[in-house]
């Protein structure tokens, strides 16, 4: 016999001890819930469960009830077959006799395990990174068929391809999670991404991301079931400061040796997201760096290699500090390391460099602490581009004016590493996401166009 307590009234029912939560609810209330296929694939029967001290979202048709489970959902029949959360911590209490002894001994085979059985996912514009218990993999983002840049994909979504883009992305995520989990121990995943990628993943209308005031549909945490997996999409701060940047900040602040001091986090790409922690608060902005940091297709070079060639030209005196090639190379280009660097390549680097350098100076000024020089600030350059960047080359082109080379760190994919840290160390999803939301709440989003004399400062920053 299984005891179910509902709003203080206890009822005993005959049921298989291994029955699912949904089966027990059906027996208790003598009803069938419409719309659920009971295959663990449609996601319609997700319910919120308090199990000991952890809050879980489980597929009730395929999740076994454990002794002491508290079901926090309203299971009354809805014409569309969905459960609605009520948030009452004592709606439904399940006691199963076969597990009571194991629970008392602390040996339940399904005792919760924190977040250890979740995977980390960094949903990037070009590639998707996965990590689960030390196993990692990277695959191309299937959205690439709709364009290599975010704008092209948003345009495709607005032209009727939103559901297809969503389907492709989820299919790719599901297949990779299955491959990472041959033993079927994986419960789900936490996903970090820029705000546009989140909108495409969720099938949201992207129109408002492409025009002022750039608000988007939602920046909040998203939580849903996909097949047998429980998916969390982490919260973002603005249309241009996504959950990938927030996850990076979380990683920096949990990195061994972090002393609680100020730092600058920069995710370099077509858009450079910058977060400056100052005291108890944060300043954040996004600078439009253009395609230069993504590489140059005509030379078949990555962005970091373009910077290296430019830095070499500066050291060799072939490029002057205004970015002008020497006369003998102005028409034909500068042959270096098997490539020919032309004036237009250098100008693209200058445009991107000016956006970053100007933004860096703006953040330093807005922080308002003249006693602290930029050379004392720890700078973290993240993402695939940053990982391959030569710090001496970066200093040569003046990407961060006044910063100290010894203070620049390149941690790699801080977005993915932030999630990895949380999966090992945070007890519940609520605690983890609460910490991310705390960062967001203390963040002031800045806008470069609001900078006084921005045009003049940007022009001056183009020099090397």
So where are the chain's domains?
Answer: 2-105, 118-233, 258-460
Tokens of 199: 């909108």
Average pLDDT over residues 350-378: 82
State residue 301 phi and psi, 5-degree precision: -125, 145
Q: DSSP letter for 326, please.
A: P
Confidence class for position 43, pLDDT limits 50, 70, 90: low
Same CATH fold, 258-460 and 118-233?
yes
User: pLDDT digit string (tens) for 373-423?
Assistant: 678 889 999 876 666 788 999 999 999 988 888 889 888 889 999 999 999
User: pLDDT digit string (tens) for 70-117?
Assistant: 776 654 433 333 333 333 333 445 554 333 333 333 333 333 457 999
pLDDT at 284: 95
Query: For residue 163, which of 206, 193, 110, 120 has the smallest C-alpha distance?
Result: 206
Q: Is 114 left (phi over 0), alpha (psi -120 to 50) or beta?
A: left
Write the CA distances from 457 to 293, 362, 461, integer angstroms. Answer: 21, 10, 6
Q: Tell me the sheet residues that pair with 341.
A: 334
Q: Considering the domain delimited by 258-460, tell me its CATH architecture.
A: 2-Layer Sandwich (3.30)
pLDDT at 411: 87
pLDDT at 210: 82
C-alpha triplet 357, 361, 364: angle, nearest 5°: 140
Measured CA to CA, the distance from residue 284 to residue 267 in angstroms comes to: 12
Lowest mean pLDDT of 17-21, 202-206, 253-257, 449-453, name the range.
17-21
pLDDT at 68: 72
Write the CA distances from 125 to 149, 165, 357, 363, 451, integer angstroms. Answer: 7, 13, 24, 26, 29
Q: Considering the domain delimited by 118-233, tell me its CATH architecture.
A: 2-Layer Sandwich (3.30)
Query: For residue 90, which of 59, 48, 27 has the smallest C-alpha distance?
Result: 48
Torsion angle of the four alpha carbons 87, 55, 415, 357, in this order, in degrees rounded to the nearest 10: 40
Spatial contact of 358 and 458, defined as CB atoms under 8 Å apart: yes
What CATH number has the domain spanning 2-105?
3.10.20
- Mean pLDDT computed over every residue of the chain: 81
Instruction: Inform me whether the pLDDT recorded for 37 exceeds 90.
Output: no
Average pLDDT over residues 331-336: 92
Tell how far CA 419 is from the center of its chain. 8
- Output 451 or 433, whichever has higher pLDDT: 433
Tokens of 281: 């608060």
Measured CA to CA, the distance from residue 406 to residue 37 in angstroms comes to: 58
pLDDT at 57: 61
pLDDT at 109: 30
Burial class (CB in 10 A: 0-12, 13-18, 19+), 208: middle
pLDDT at 89: 33
- Output 285 or 6, whichever has higher pLDDT: 285
Greatest Cα-to-Cα distance within the chain, rounded to the nearest angstrom = 92
List CB contacts of 116: < 8 A, sequence separation 6 or more. 133, 423, 424
Residue whose pair of structure tokens reads 């196993």 in the numeric block: 135
pLDDT at 148: 82
User: pLDDT digit string (tens) for 242-282?
Assistant: 999 999 999 999 988 888 889 999 988 778 899 999 989 99
Average pLDDT over residues 412-437: 93
Tokens of 300: 């078949």
Torsion angle of the four alpha carbons 317, 322, 325, 328, in this order, in degrees rounded to the nearest 10: -80
Whether the model pTM is above 0.85: no
Express as a percent the part of the chain with pLDDT over 70.
78
Measured CA to CA, the distance from residue 348 to residue 353 in angstroms comes to: 9
Measured CA to CA, the distance from residue 434 to residue 429 in angstroms comes to: 8
Instruction: Inform me whether the pLDDT recorded for 330 exceeds 80.
Output: yes
């Amino acid at each position: 016999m299984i005891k179910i307590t509902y709003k203080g009234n206890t009822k005993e029912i005959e049921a298989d001890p291994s029955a699912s939560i949904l089966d027990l609810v059906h027996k208790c209330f003598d009803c069938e819930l419409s719309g659920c296929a009971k295959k663990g694939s449609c996601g319609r029967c997700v319910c919120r469960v308090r199990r000991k001290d952890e809050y879980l979202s489980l597929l009730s048709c395929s999740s076994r009830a454990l002794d002491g489970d508290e079901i926090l959902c309203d299971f009354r029949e809805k014409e569309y077959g969905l459960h609605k959360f009520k948030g009452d911590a004592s709606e439904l209490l399940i006691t199963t006799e076969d597990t009571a002894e194991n629970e008392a001994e602390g040996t339940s085979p399904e005792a919760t395990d924190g977040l250890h059985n979740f995977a980390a996912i960094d949903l990037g514009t070009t590639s998707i990174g996965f990590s689960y218990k030390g196993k990692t993999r990277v695959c191309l983002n299937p959205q690439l068929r709709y364009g290599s840049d975010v704008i092209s994909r948003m345009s495709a979504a607005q032209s009727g391809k939103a559901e297809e883009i969503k389907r492709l992305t989820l299919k790719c995520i599901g297949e990779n999670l299955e491959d990472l989990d041959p033993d079927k121990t994986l419960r789900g995943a936490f996903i970090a991404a820029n705000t546009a990628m989140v909108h495409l993943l969720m099938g949201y209308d992207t129109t408002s991301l492409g025009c002022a005031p750039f608000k988007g549909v939602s920046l909040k945490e998203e939580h849903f079931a996909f097949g047998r997996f429980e998916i969390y999409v982490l919260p973002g701060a603005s249309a241009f400061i996504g959950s990938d940047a927030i996850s990076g900040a979380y990683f920096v602040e949990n990195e061994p040796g972090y002393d609680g001091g100020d730092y600058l986090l920069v995710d370099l790409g077509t858009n450079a997201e910058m977060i400056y922690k100052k005291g108890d608060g944060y300043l954040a902005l996004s600078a439009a760096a253009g395609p230069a940091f993504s590489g140059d297709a005509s030379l078949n070079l990555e962005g970091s290699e373009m910077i290296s060639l430019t830095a070499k030209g500066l050291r060799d005196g072939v490029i002057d500090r205004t970015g002008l090639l020497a006369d003998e190379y102005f028409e034909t280009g500068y042959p270096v390391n098997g490539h020919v660097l032309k004036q237009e390549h250098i100008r693209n680097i200058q445009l991107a460099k000016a956006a970053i350098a100007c933004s860096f100076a703006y953040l330093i000024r807005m922080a308002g602490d003249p006693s602290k020089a930029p050379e004392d600030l720890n700078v973290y350059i993240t993402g695939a581009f940053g990982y391959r960047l030569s710090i001496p080359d970066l200093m040569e082109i003046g990407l961060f004016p006044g910063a100290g080379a010894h203070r620049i760190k390149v941690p790699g994919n801080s977005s993915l590493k932030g999630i990895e840290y949380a999966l090992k160390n945070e007890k519940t999803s609520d605690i983890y996401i609460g910490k991310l939301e705390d960062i967001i709440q203390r963040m002031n989003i800045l806008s470069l166009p609001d900078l006084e004399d921005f045009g003049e400062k940007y022009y001056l920053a183009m020099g090397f």
